[in-house]
Structure 1
Amino acid sequence: MAEKKEYHPVGPPQPARNTGGGGVLDHMDTRSNNLPLAWKNWLTKFKIYLKAFNLDKESEDRRVALLLHFLGPECLNIFYSFDVDVDKIRLQTLIEKFTEYFSPKANITILRHTLFNRKQLPNENLDTYITDLKNIALQCNFGNLQDDLLKDIFSWNLNDGNKYIKEKILQEAPSSLESAIKIAKALEMSRKDTEILTGLEANQSISAIQNRSHHQSQSVQSYRSHRSSSRGRPSRRASPEPHSSRHSSPQRFEFRRLQQRRTPPWPRTSAAWLEEYKSGGN
């Protein structure tokens, strides 16, 4: 009995569903705030996908089916609005219809106004800022003036944190947008390196202060410990001397007795009392 073989279909990998998890090719984001850019990005990914899996040479109807399949179910309603036959329409014609739908004729005046007033946000990095400027400029029909205008707009609208870049670009007067971008990125990298070195030096200074404070604290504790241990030892002070004999002599007591016994009617000095004592109290 012949062994039954399992069937494995051969074909390109299945696309990921539009759940934000990534995959081979996500569906078209029809809720994007910038539909022209979203459609342009998706179409580019689709063309790359066809080439990567050798599908760009497939038949016309299969490539149309692949386009509609990868666009996702939300785009089917848009396709129905074209009122075309899926079996007869050509791929390029279908792409043009979706392009017209997602990228209606733009108001160049509004786009140029948007570009001239596009300022770098406070926490926006240079790459994001530059990319957005370029994408807006593509729709402004500047022709040969585009690079020169973008160079000026780029430097004019840098945020306050990048004033040093703006000043350097004005001094250097680069001839192209790419030259201005190189100057900006070199200065940004230099600033970051300086901040790193400054941070390292500050950490070293703090460590030195902490070590010095630690040693001082240990010295104070050692001194206090020595003092507390010394208090428990017997005192080495000499015993107080006995009262001098002159303080306890009989003459001294007699002199005091006479002072207490006799109270003169007028104030008398110590010298007068002494003379009376010497004469025997008479």
Structure 2
Amino acid sequence: MEYAQKPPALSSEGSMSENWVDWKQQFLIFLKASGIADKPTDVKASILLNLIGPVGMKVFKKFIFHHPADKENVDILMEKFDDHFSPRKTEVHDRYIFFSSTRQKSETIRQYVETLKEKANCCNFGVLTETLIRDKLVLDMKNKDLRKHLFEQKYLSLSQVIDLWEKCEHTELISKLCISKELLEKQSYKAADKNLSKKTWNCIKCNTSHEPKQCPAQGKKCENCGMYNHLTACCNKPAALKNNLAQNDLV
């Protein structure tokens, strides 16, 4: 069909993986709409190379073909373009992602296990999936005592590790709360002691509470005994002393 719209040349702007997927889809639609889909593979390969443009041709020139005829096979060409723009992840890569996973602070232990199960789906672990997730949890464990306890277990399932981990975290949380409460109480006691040390209660010179060296009677003359540095109301000397002091002043 003459009115079938040809795909534009492969673009180099943005994500090349997405660009190739879009171009490949347009190319397949064009083959079907133009009636070329049933043509020989070599004809379709030539059309692909004719339409893909400079960006695609630059990639094509780097391909290695074990057989010369492969260059003219459209299926082999598209597979090589697939591998170039959207490389397939290998089992080694997927397992590396699994074993290098770390638990996020916002994740509960059970949520972390679900994350590991999802990643394990791409790793081809087979019947070993659950035991490898169990081993990954033990590997991630920071509590040495709990890890030692797990090492001593002859039979240890994934569910047992999860339960023990949760109990350990709960115990540690309670311990931290108790320690925080104890520290808070100590700080309160220290603050109270500090405030008490700043005060002199029931000062005998002025009968008030005040900080050291802040007595209001300092320098004041007692009208009862005539001596300084205490108030008359706090004087504990007999009134007769006042008369004796007055007489001594006259002599």
Relative to the length of structure 1, the TM-score reads 0.42
Structure whose CA Rg is larger: 1
Relative to the length of structure 2, the TM-score reads 0.47
